[in-house]
Chains A and B, each alone.
Chain A
Amino acid sequence: MALPAKLTPEKLYRACDPQEFSFRTTAELDGHVNATGQKRAIDAITFSMGIRHDGFNLFALGPNGTGKQSAIMHFLDGIAPNAPIPSDWCYVNNFEKPRNPKALKLPAGKGTTLSRDMQHLVEALFTVIPAAFSSEEYQVQEKDIREKFQEQQGEAIGELEKNAAENNIALIRTPAGFAFAPIRNNEVLKPEEFMQLKQEERDAIDVEITRLKTAMQSILAQIPKWQRETQEKLKELNRNIASFAVKPLVAELRNSYEPLPEVIAYLDTLENDVIENFDKFLEKEPDQRELFPGMAPDRFLQGGSSFNRYRVNVIVDNSRSEGAPVVYEDKPACYNLVGDIEHISQMGTLVTDFTLIKQGALHRANGGYLLIDARRLLMEPLAYEALKKALRTRHIRIESLAQLYSLVSTVSLEPEPIPLDVKVILLGERSLYYLLTLYDPDFTELFKVAADFEDELPVNSDGKLFYANIISSIAKKDTLLHFDKGAVARVVEHGSRLAEDSTKLTAHLQSICDLVHEAEFYAASAKKESVEAGDVQHAIDARTLRASRIREKIREATLKNQILIDTVSEKTGQINALSIYSPGGQSFGHPGKITAKVGLGKGEVIDIEREVEMGGPIHSKGVMILSGFLGARFGIDQPLSLTASLVFEQSYSGVEGDSASSAELYALLSAISGAPIRQWFAVTGSVNQNGEVQAIGGVNEKIEGFFDLCQARGLTGKEGVLIPVSNVENLMLRSDVVEAARNNLFSVFPVSHVDEGIEILTGIPAGEPDTNGNYPPDTINGMAVARLREMAEKIRQFNNSSSDNEE
């Protein structure tokens, strides 16, 4: 078998040539950022925004920082200004049912006009109504009505009084009513005088007084009726006068809003209400704040609380809008989405009215587009349900959460729902999208379009220019130093490194943005005119250094042999496996020692990590695959009479992943065959039951981890790593690693099969079976077969002797 050659330095790192760029610095670029490499997502966005049917809302999925929001905003910036400006919405008092404020739809800009007009109307009413009621005409009419009542009453009683007087009887006003008494010379008879009268005279007086009393009672019975009639007349007069004062003002407004029947209907009810409550405009209301110092300010300034009923609460004001609104709701709490009904405290009681209805993001975005971060939405209690309800019913219904859950018991409102026409765009990670799709049946109904953003961009001229423009736009937006072409090239290379693929660039633009800021900081500190490649490298190194404490500690322990990693000798059943650590946001690689031991047994491979429950399921699966490989290769003609145990030495935390499974197989083959492994090599890659080596992640960090250790101990030229051949494209190694490879001090071998790997590691060929299936004896496989046969024989002999002893 031909062994794979070590990789050339060019394969270890794909450099970006600054000469590919036509600009000198990014200052020459316009900084225009389009959605390069996101065609699939942009097509989805275009479709979703274009289709006006229900449920075609958008979920933009992809990792955070990949520019989903920027791409969507950029797209909307292109279409929203050309869309029609949506209507204004106002809440006004429902005079018939104050608990259900009315929603008024007005053309854009008319909401504030109506609000201002109503304010002016109330101000005018304060002048016009008192003027009408203090007019001579009103005073005379009112006086007439009151006097008529007095006259009516006076005439009836006066007639009776006169009638009584003719019979020498006086009508006298008592503290609580009336009474009749006989008189003489205008004085009531003294009791003794009365008693001196003849019996007939007294009887006649009694009869007369009884008659008069009956007549008086009849008159008094009429008085409440006369009072009612008088009140009715006064009411009618007041109504007529108020109506005369109010109608011209309202008619003027009615003319202004003639094409709007809803407003006209509102003005009609308002006119009636003002007429009914004209007296409120007659007296200057006392300043409630003086009476009650704890009262909320502002609500009692102009016109006082009674006149809130005539105000207009402009919920949506599009007077300054250009096109359809694009709203990003940063805190998508329920009350921020659908609005809220606020309360104010008055004398220890919570009260509210329609002027305290607060708009939500759905109101602002109505007729346009609403962007929400899906994670934040789901973390806010009931917000997601409220959003779905609004989208499903196509109405914004404001409900107070506190009321809904009976957290407060006070007067509240049920405002008229407002029709909703909005495109909602949720931004979130893929996992959220898949979870919602799986568990929420409503979700797929309401968010029918998914814009799946790529994690990576191809490394081509478009991708590189995209990066350059990103840098240019950041520099312009944040007034930073611009980057020269060398610095841009270095950023592009780092983009490939972050993408873990030399043919790709990361789409995680937040990382690039951070790098740009950090590099600019170093360039500015050094008082440079532009950022150079060295500054970018400085920023990368500094970032690595900042996160290097744990890595340094592990390396230090290794160099002190507290962690035993052999990079010099050859050992049987022992190998250096490359593992990766990810504390916080930074990853780094470090070799770990795997040992394998064999003994007589029944063909089991014992994974010690799994036995002590420190191995994850993928790792355990990888070890079981080894049993399959060994069985297929060596257990066809004879039983595998061994027990092998595998362990990650000095591992004190869990092990997960199958990237060490090839290393474990090499250690097993070495242990079975007895061939020692060269410890100056380290290995990574997973393996299948056929022995094919498969790709793994974090290949760059793993190689660099082993390189750093070897370099610390002194490179001899023998050191190197074995990686899966399919990971070659992922290589974007550090410059010192590439330099060492160039100087033949460090090697990277791409391996496609364990047979290639074992030969590199032991210097002994793996061996291929002849036509009878026998391996040559001086090969790894041959040595392994011989050892297994020997072990099988020992077991057979042991079993025989055991049987003899039993007999």
Chain B
Amino acid sequence: MRNNLIRHIAVALDCSPHSLASLNAAAELARRMHADLTGIFVEDLNLLRMAALPCSHEIRIYTDEPEKIDLLQLERSLKRQAREAESALQHIAKEFMVEHSFRVCRGMVPAEVILAAHEADLLVLGRSGRSPSCRKGLGSTAKKALAEGKRPLLLMRTGFAAKEWPVLVLYDGSTGSQQALSTALSLAEPGTLHVLILGETPEEAMLMEQELSATITRPETVIEYHRLPLHDGKTLARYIRMADSGLLVLSDRMRLPIETVHTLINEIDYPVLLV
């Protein structure tokens, strides 16, 4: 991810905590890369359809009896959410001094987000949206973006601030991992970059580390190298959790199988930048 490639950043907004974290991260990146920011709010067609069904009832936490969903009221609620999302975007854009636009569309949320972000150079999403079960894994939109190969893709979650995040990059010598390393270096400057080198053998990993040490000269970035045998995603996920180093930068064009990469992204509860 070189700066000259990122001119438009799209961020999906649904007023969930993850989407607000996405907005912050997107604005920070837009500021750094002098890119503009587009907020996307999708009026969920499933919701609207459901409201039109005779059997639809809303169950609320603090209300005894389920209530029939009123379509007009639902429309109003969606519009209010859209206004809130736009207001949040305006506020953040003003704070980070970035150009911004806001788009509201209606449809199936994952598809509409992917479609709306078609022209963007980077799509920023919450790991999960307003999902009913508050799940830890990826939400439907994130899953779809991942599956449809929208790159680069930043999946954010709450509790991480893009401003001061430490960065961990996975490197295995592949082209994809080299691109990930290049992006990670630009994000970690100034700061600390952890490079997790995945080698078939310890010797190979050592060799890669030596090569990188020799080639990378960033005076304002502290680079720490770690080595791990190239194993399955679960071991890697455990290691990443232990390292607890914030943003994970990786590519799905690495020597690791793409399924392993996706499983890893699904399992770890950290922000991920997939290049």
Interface residues of A, Cβ cutoff 8 Å to B: 147, 150-151, 153-155, 157-158, 161, 170-183, 187-191, 194, 202, 205-206, 209, 213, 216-217, 220, 223-224
Contact = CB atoms under 8 A, between A and B. Distances in A.
A217 B60 CA distance: 8
Contact of B53 (A150, A174, A194, A224): A194
A172 B46 contact: yes
B136 interface: yes
B49 A188 contact: yes
A186 to B, nearest CB: 8
Nearest to A143: B159
Of the listed residues B47, B78, B136, the one surrounded by the most CB atoms of chain A closer than 10 A to its CB is B47
Nearest to A191: B52
A209 to B, nearest CB: 5
Given A158-B135, A161-B133, A177-B59, A217 B66 contact: yes
B139 to A, nearest CB: 11
Given A172-B132, A213-B66, A223 B61 contact: yes
Given A157-B133, A188-B53, A223-B61, 14 more contacts: A154-B133, A157-B134, A170-B46, A172-B44, A172-B47, A173-B132, A175-B81, A181-B46, A181-B55, A182-B53, A191-B54, A202-B55, A213-B66, A220-B59
B56 interface: yes
B207 interface: no
Contacts of B69: 174, 179
A172 B50 contact: yes
A191 B51 CA distance: 9
Interface string B54-70: 11111111010010010
B77 interface: yes
A161 B139 CA distance: 14
Contacts of B54: 191, 194
A191 B71 CA distance: 12
B109 to A, nearest CB: 11
A357 to B, nearest CB: 46
B108 interface: yes
Of the listed residues A157, A161, A174, A181, the one surrounded by the most CB atoms of chain B closer than 10 A to its CB is A174
A202 B77 CA distance: 28
Nearest to A147: B136
Given A153-B134, A158-B135, A217-B66, A179 B57 contact: yes
A634 to B, nearest CB: 120
B116 to A, nearest CB: 19
Contacts of A187: 45-46, 49, 108
A183 B50 CA distance: 9
A179 B56 contact: yes
Contacts of A206: 55
B59 A216 contact: yes
B215 interface: no
B218 interface: no
Contact of B77 (A147, A158, A176, A209): A176
Contacts of A205: 55
A206 B54 CA distance: 9
A731 B60 CA distance: 112
A174 B58 contact: yes
Contacts of B50: 172, 179, 181, 188
B221 to A, nearest CB: 24
B77 to A, nearest CB: 4
Contact of A154 (B60, B81, B134): B134
Contacts of A147: 136
Contact of A171 (B55, B66, B74, B132): B132
Contacts of B46: 170, 172, 181, 183, 187-188
Interface residues of B, number: 32
Contacts of B134: 150, 153-154, 157
A178 to B, nearest CB: 5
Contacts of A190: 49, 52
A162 to B, nearest CB: 9
Nearest to B78: A175
Contacts of B56: 179-181
Contact of B58 (A158, A177, A183, A202): A177
B217 interface: no
B60 A175 contact: no
B54 to A, nearest CB: 7
B103 interface: no
A191 to B, nearest CB: 4
Interface in B16-59: 44-47, 49-50, 52-59
A173 B130 CA distance: 7
B173 to A, nearest CB: 33
Contacts of B49: 181, 187-191
A161 B140 CA distance: 14
A179 B135 CA distance: 17
A224 B45 CA distance: 31
- 3 closest cross-chain pairs (CB), A and B: A181-B50, A177-B60, A175-B77
Contacts of A191: 49, 52-54
Given A170-B46, A181-B53, A220 B136 contact: no
B131 interface: yes
B100 to A, nearest CB: 24
Nearest to B244: A136
Contacts of A153: 133-134
Interface string B118-151: 0000000000001111111000000000000000
B166 to A, nearest CB: 14
B131 A174 contact: no
A157 B59 CA distance: 13
Nearest to A212: B59
A290 to B, nearest CB: 22
Given A157-B133, A175-B74, A188-B50, A209 B108 contact: no
25 contacts: A150-B136, A154-B134, A154-B136, A157-B134, A158-B135, A172-B44, A173-B130, A173-B132, A174-B58, A175-B81, A176-B60, A176-B77, A179-B58, A187-B46, A188-B49, A188-B50, A189-B49, A190-B49, A194-B53, A194-B54, A205-B55, A209-B57, A213-B66, A216-B59, A217-B59
Given A187-B46, A188-B50, A191-B49, A176 B133 contact: no
B59 A213 contact: yes
Contacts of A220: 59-61
A206 B55 CA distance: 6
Contacts of B57: 179-180, 209, 213
A183 B45 CA distance: 12
A700 to B, nearest CB: 97
A674 B266 CA distance: 144
Contacts of B66: 213, 217
B44 to A, nearest CB: 8
Of the listed residues B55, B58, B66, the one surrounded by the most CB atoms of chain A closer than 10 A to its CB is B55
Contacts of B108: 187
Contacts of B78: 175
A153 B136 CA distance: 11
Contacts of A179: 50, 56-59, 69
B5 to A, nearest CB: 33
A10 B52 CA distance: 135
Nearest to B60: A177
A206 B58 CA distance: 14
Of the listed residues B49, B59, B81, the one surrounded by the most CB atoms of chain A closer than 10 A to its CB is B59
A436 B44 CA distance: 93
A188 B134 CA distance: 21
B155 to A, nearest CB: 18
A178 B45 CA distance: 15
